[in-house]
């Protein structure tokens, strides 16, 4: 277990240039966010690991902290790290202005019968939190990071939002049961509306330009054309040799 650093200057032939095994090699890294010289790693065994990557060939641990327990996904904005913590059943806002000593600055608890925050995306003053336990997506106002507050909720039968990506007026969702779909979140304080969908079982999504890149449970990475948001169309796919998660 641990972290690997790859050079992608030649996208056709990525090369591993450095690696780091921490906690004696007993680790379970599940998420990562990078800014400047630091990588923030969410680990289901260790918690939060901050790594200095200023020398990519020789990354070093700056700090480890048990302030998160199941950090399935995380996103970074300024000095705050937003973590979907499934075990603690909350969105945690962590102040990482001192990488040697991160501290929890605020939390948002979804409540409900079986909360399990799993996915997170940020856009401006809002965080989008996917809850696979309650089957919901929450829009959370993070303009005050120490007191995040829910402003809207989207829910649907069978919803399991394991991947989120926010861009412009849309939130793109990768869902284990419902496939890929987009929501109009232009009015953050109103219930998001469904715009378009593509059937399947999906784990992760990223969007650039008019294309969505989707990790599919069938062992493929899919490329969807979003030129018409209401009807995404498949334009390409590649077998990954396993089940891609992001």
List, for residues 67-97, the tens digit of each pLDDT value.
Answer: 999 999 999 999 999 999 999 999 999 999 9
86: left (phi over 0), alpha (psi -120 to 50) or beta: alpha
Confidence of residue 11 (pLDDT cuts 50, 70, 90): confident
| pLDDT given at position 31 | 95
List, for residues 133-146, the tens digit of each pLDDT value.
Answer: 999 999 999 999 99
- Cβ neighbors of 161 (< 8 A, separation 6 or more) are 118, 119, 130, 131, 132, 137, 173, 174, 175
Confidence of residue 5 (pLDDT cuts 50, 70, 90): very high
| pLDDT given at position 55 | 97
Q: Taking residues 17-22, report their average pLDDT.
A: 94
Confidence of residue 23 (pLDDT cuts 50, 70, 90): confident
| pLDDT given at position 12 | 87
| pLDDT given at position 157 | 87
| pLDDT given at position 245 | 77
Angstrom distance (rounded) from CA 62 to CA 227: 44
Strand 193-198: give its sheet, edge to edge: 161-167, 170-175, 179-184, 193-198
For residue 98, pLDDT over 90 is answered with: yes
Cα distances from 245 to residues 8, 153, 230, in angstroms, run: 20, 25, 25
Contact 127, 82 (CB under 8 A): yes
Angstrom distance (rounded) from CA 6 to CA 15: 5
Q: Taking residues 121-139, report their average pLDDT.
A: 97
In the beta sheet, which residues pair with residue 152? 139
Angstrom distance (rounded) from CA 188 to CA 133: 22
For residue 148, pLDDT over 80 is answered with: yes
pTM: 0.95
Angstrom distance (rounded) from CA 28 to CA 47: 9
Contact 110, 136 (CB under 8 A): yes
Of residues 2 and 160, more confidence is placed in 160
For residue 43, pLDDT over 90 is answered with: yes
| pLDDT given at position 26 | 81
């Amino acid at each position: 277990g641990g972290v690997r650093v790859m050079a992608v200057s030649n996208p056709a032939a990525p090369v591993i240039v450095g690696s780091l095994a921490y906690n004696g090699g007993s680790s379970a890294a599940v998420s990562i966010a990078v800014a400047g010289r630091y990588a923030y790693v969410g680990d289901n065994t260790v918690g939060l690991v901050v790594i200095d990557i200023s020398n990519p060939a020789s990354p070093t641990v700056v700090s480890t902290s048990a302030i998160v327990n199941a950090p399935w996904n995380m996103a970074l904005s300024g000095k705050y790290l937003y973590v979907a913590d499934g075990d603690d059943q909350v969105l945690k806002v962590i102040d990482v202005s001192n990488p040697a000593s991160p501290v929890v600055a605020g939390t948002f608890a979804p409540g409900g019968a079986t909360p399990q925050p799993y996915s997170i995306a940020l856009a401006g003053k809002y965080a989008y939190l996917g809850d696979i336990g309650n089957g919901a997506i929450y829009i959370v106002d993070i303009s005050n990071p120490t007191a995040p507050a829910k402003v809207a909720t989207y829910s649907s039968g069978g919803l399991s939002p394991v991947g989120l990506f926010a861009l412009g007026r849309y939130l793109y969702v990768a869902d284990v049961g419902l496939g890929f779909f987009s929501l109009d979140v232009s009015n953050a304080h109103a219930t998001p509306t469904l715009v378009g969908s593509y059937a399947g079982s999906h784990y992760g999504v990223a969007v650039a330009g008019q294309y969505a890149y989707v990790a599919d449970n069938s062992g493929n990475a899919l490329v969807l054309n979003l030129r018409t948001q209401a009807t995404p169309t498949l334009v390409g796919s590649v077998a990954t040799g396993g089940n891609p998660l992001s």
